[in-house]
Amino acid sequence: MVIKHGMNSGFSGRNYMLASSAVFRRQQFLIRSLGGYTDHPLQKRMQEVKSIGGPSVEADAENILRAITPTLDPSRHKGQAGKIAVIGGCREYTGAPYFAAISALKIVSSLLRLIYIWCRFVSCFLYKRCCSSHKSYSPELIVHPILEESYSVRDEDKRLISGKVLAEVHKWMERFDCLVVGPGLGRDPFLLDCVMEILKLARQSNVPIVVDGDGLFLVTNSLDLVSGYPLAVLTPNVNEYKRLVQKVLGCEVNDEDAHEQLLFLAKQIGGVTILRKGKSDLISDGDTVKSVSIYGSPRRCGGQGDILSGSVAVFVSWVRRLILAPDGDLNISPRNPTVLGCIAGSALLRKAASIAFKDKKRSTLTGDIIECLGRSLEDICPASR
């Protein structure tokens, strides 16, 4: 059974922090020297976590990208490269869901230079007033204006509107290979309630979920939405990761034992995959820890997390299709599709950011990085192979 907040286990988050501190180790040494009591269960649990995860291993990201990227095949038709849906957007944030959706589209567009019939399907389920801008951003995106905020819905109509939103998404859910939930979502209570029901529906339908942005705010406060669901991916930045650690482990982030803490965090949430964004991206599903340290860009423009979430969704859907195929045999490690998808998405974003920075330097924007996604994938995995 998964313990939601990690505070009732024999190895609590606060004890976990003490176990890695020099003060605690000195205290234990003095107690042992005096023949007194030592917390053997705590020490045993700490050792178990370290032995399971071991040291973080740099992922062989480029070989993973090559292994999971589909080859060009003129016999394929529309939709066979996967179908991604993005749930997001609010009055203030219209760019984030667009960045996530267009990044997913661009990755496959890099494979579409000659074979136009092999295209992918990207849907955006957005806050209604975002939709006109997104339709003008790109005609390739299929935009569904269904989400509402509290101020535009009367209390007596909320149940009806929520039911209509869920019914609309339900019609499409079986077509999706992965959901991206959270880019630009905001924190409106009614909107979050609707998205909560969408997450439950996705889980019931066994659809992979990549949670980013305010989607992380939602699941951090409602861990049951993802707890114990191995097809869930969380992609927290520094502040989002801090809130997640405080909520689940009841302690502060420990950078000295970052790998073990991430491993334990993922395990406490029931084996979800967590991609901790940072100088090096750390990825864990509770069984292993991998890192991606490919040099990216010193220019930290906003929106890169949205590119990452869209990219991870594509690669997770590709890996899962390969694994589920009758003759699917991925001779790469690890085998978890969500971990592999995170490694591939992280590596591609970092390479694209590096290329964009070489050209634009200090003026690099998110759109510049998106335009380099296809080139980056082509450099690693040529279409003519």
Q: Per the annotation, where are the binding residues for (6S)-NADPHX?
A: 184, 237-243, 306
Annotated binding-site members for ATP: 277-281, 296-305
Token code pair at residue 160: 């009806």
DSSP annotation string for 98-118: HHHHHHHHHHHHTT-SS-TT-
List CB contacts of 13: < 8 A, sequence separation 6 or more.
6, 7, 245, 248, 249, 250, 251
Token code pair at residue 311: 């990219």
d(C-alpha 16, C-alpha 327), whole Å: 44
Instruction: Taking the CA atoms of 303, 305, 306 and 312 in sequence, report the sign of the dihedral they define.
Output: positive
Q: Is 308 left (phi over 0), alpha (psi -120 to 50) or beta?
A: alpha
d(C-alpha 139, C-alpha 60), whole Å: 36
CB contact at 8 A, 237 and 1:
no
Helix axes 337-360, 304-324, angle to 10 degrees: 140
DSSP annotation string for 168-210: HHHHHHTT-SEEEE-TT----HHHHHHHHHHHHHHHHTT--EE
Annotated binding-site members: 184, 237-243, 277-281, 296-306
For the beta sheet containing 273-276, the strands, ordered from the edge strand earlier in sequence to the opposite edge, are 57-58, 289-292, 281-284, 273-276, 232-234, 209-211, 178-181, 83-88, 121-127, 142-147
The single-letter code of the amino acid at 172 is W
Token code pair at residue 179: 């959901």
CB contact at 8 A, 52 and 287:
yes
d(C-alpha 222, C-alpha 301), whole Å: 30
Three-class DSSP category at 242: helix
The single-letter code of the amino acid at 298 is P
Rounded to the nearest 5 degrees, what angle is found at the Cα of 130, between the Cα atoms of 129 and 131?
95
Q: What residues form DSSP beta bridges with 125? A: 87, 144
